[in-house]
Amino acid sequence: MTQELPPDVIAQLTGLGRAITPDLVQTTWALLTPFHEKVGYTAPKIHRDLKYGDHPRHRLDVHTAGEQATATPAPVFVFVHGGGFVGGDKTQPGSPAYDHIGAWAVRNGWVGVTITYRLAPDHTWPAGAQDVAAAVDWIRENIAGYGGDPARIVVAGHSAGCVHVASYLTGQGGGSLDGVRGAGLLSGFYHIPDEGRGELERTYYADAPSETISTLPGLLETDIPLIFAVADRDPEFSHYQVARLTEAWFARKQSVPQVIWSDGHNHVSQIGSIGVDDLALGAQLARFVERVTEA
Amino acid sequence: MTQELPPDVIAQLTGLGRAITPDLVQTTWALLTPFHEKVGYTAPKIHRDLKYGDHPRHRLDVHTAGEQATATPAPVFVFVHGGGFVGGDKTQPGSPAYDHIGAWAVRNGWVGVTITYRLAPDHTWPAGAQDVAAAVDWIRENIAGYGGDPARIVVAGHSAGCVHVASYLTGQGGGSLDGVRGAGLLSGFYHIPDEGRGELERTYYADAPSETISTLPGLLETDIPLIFAVADRDPEFSHYQVARLTEAWFARKQSVPQVIWSDGHNHVSQIGSIGVDDLALGAQLARFVERVTEA
């Protein structure tokens, strides 16, 4: 069944505007949580805090159907949270975030993995990409034990998590791309200018030059299928990224990239819409995962 | 219930490629028709060939729920077919096209209107826009008698029909925009260069200069909500239009336009997907119509 939010709730989310403030984050989740509670936002079995490295934040959760798991290894959907390079977690007490993505993955017949990674300012570029690479290494080695297929992995990230996934895909964090069949790049950025970096970008990238850290050139060359998303009320910088991506993609490929427009949503409710507002992002993303992981 | 096409059918549609040949048209409809027959592609009551002007092609069909119509006047969804300026019709014997769009509109609780218009070479720019304007005039005057709300009209066009709708919206055909609450611009074009026009564009536009006939500047200024679409396997020219639109829209509005990516579809199956592959276009388009026609 297609999950939808009532139009008045979407209108409220739209009305919160484009600036990512603590108030927007709090109000957005307050609006969404009752709908997640109705649908259910925890998978039947969650294996918590498995370690994929030495740092305390090298942890991931594996979301599965538990006893209902099928005999055929399932596609694996990996989610990398946002938080401006300096915050965020795979789980937030009292919030559906981001167990709801694991639950949604399991409802789609996949294994879900939500990861946490090291943060700036202690850990700067390319630490995020290195951690995504390490998590995918762990998944490739271990996920069969949870019913997942190590040869059918899709990695998605939101906001700063999207930036880390793009950075991983383009080799900035090292590691292997074996088994990665596609990636979802959700409201992040790919071109990081030298001038005009915000405080969070300066914290993570310091003075590393644009040509070293921008992932756009690498994304244009990768063979891994990509799906992008932008929220209706995403900040201008996210929209700028889509404009620039579209221009560069067309110049390189004579086609435009697949960009999902999360209608009516803000930066936070876009990812919060997964599982409760299918048309905003989830249904298109699921179709992409099904297509690229087809056996 | 969300209608979907089997992945192998979508893969066949994708595999037909980007060039709009007679073979692509025929094969696409042959693949889609069995699914339309299963869903049902005719509304309960179709009022055929109502005249909205003097020319034999000034005809429209009104699709309604018949006896099941509700007391509250319903939103009106108007569809303008494609055909390269020189062909096409609102109905094609033995094919779901484009009754399927009327049926889909009625299933959504709206009144559907499918129109035919004059063709080049006998009728050149801005005849198409004039005819869309005349049809909307007729609708505004008469649709209440069919259960439609003349103050809640959404006009959508595909391919050459999209070009005519854009032309109408930007005033090239005269007429009124009263009651038009939104428009769907599906795989058409908005910037018509002076150089390099194809045969069909030359037939319709002759030598009219780009600055006179391009609708992009006008679309950037209109207050009418717009939704755009592009098909995965649309010709390069359609993708170029989205790239150019996105760039200009961002420069003007500091955001990117809402563009639906019709995943896996070609130019013809994009519009043929309505009613049988909701995620390709129909569900997003319906959400847009619901939003802009909200009382």
- Report how many Cβ contacts below 8 Å link chain A to chain B: 81
Which pLDDT value is given to residue B195?
86
Q: CA-to-CA distance for B280 and B260, rounded, in angstroms?
A: 8
Residue B249's Cβ-side half-sphere holds a number of Cα atoms within 13 Å equal to: 26
Q: CA-to-CA distance for A273 and A265, rounded, in angstroms?
A: 8
Which pLDDT value is given to residue A176?
98
Burial of B42 (0-12, 13-18, 19+ CB in 10 A): middle
pLDDT in tens, A208-227: 999 999 999 999 999 999 99
Q: Which of B7, B255, B256 lies at the smallest CB-CB distance from A291? A: B7
Going from the C-alpha of B89 to that of each of B44, B86, B103, B195, the distances in angstroms are 21, 10, 16, 29
Which pLDDT value is given to residue B68?
62
Are A7 and B261 inside 8 Å of each other by CB? no
Which pLDDT value is given to residue B140?
98
Are A243 and B250 inside 8 Å of each other by CB? yes
Query: Which residue stretches of chain A have pLDDT < 70?
Result: 68-70
Estimate to the nearest angstrom the gap between the alpha carbon of A258 and the chain centroid.
Answer: 16
pTM, to two decimals:
0.97
Which pLDDT value is given to residue A2?
83
Q: CA-to-CA distance for B78 and B257, rounded, in angstroms?
A: 21
Q: Are strands A59-64 and A45-51 parallel, antiparallel or unpaired?
A: antiparallel
Q: Which residues of chain A are within 8 Å of residue B255 when distances are taken between CB atoms?
A: 236, 239
Identify the closest residue of chain B to A249 by CA–CA distance. B243
| Euclidean distance between the first and the last CA atom of chain B, given in angstroms as a whole number | 25
Are A7 and B294 inside 8 Å of each other by CB? yes
pLDDT in tens, B68-114: 656 799 999 999 999 999 999 999 988 999 999 999 999 999 999 99
Q: Tell me the backbone φ, ψ of residue A191, rounded to 5 degrees.
A: -115, 115
Are B242 and A256 inside 8 Å of each other by CB? yes
Q: Taking a C-beta distance cutoff of 8 angstroms, is the pair A264, A8 a contact?
A: no
Query: Which residue stretches of chain B have pLDDT < 70?
Result: 68-70
Q: What is the DSSP secondary-structure string of A262-273?
A: EEEEEHHHHHHT
Dihedral sign from CA coordinates of A21, A26, A30, A36: positive
Q: CA-to-CA distance for A19 and A21, rounded, in angstroms?
A: 6
| Token pair 């989830």: residue | A282
Q: Are strands A59-64 and A111-115 parallel, antiparallel or unpaired?
A: antiparallel
Q: Which of B261, B288, B294 lies at the smallest CB-CB distance from A259? A: B261
Which pLDDT value is given to residue A123?
98
Which pLDDT value is given to residue A70?
66
Chain A contact for B290, CB < 8 A?
Answer: yes
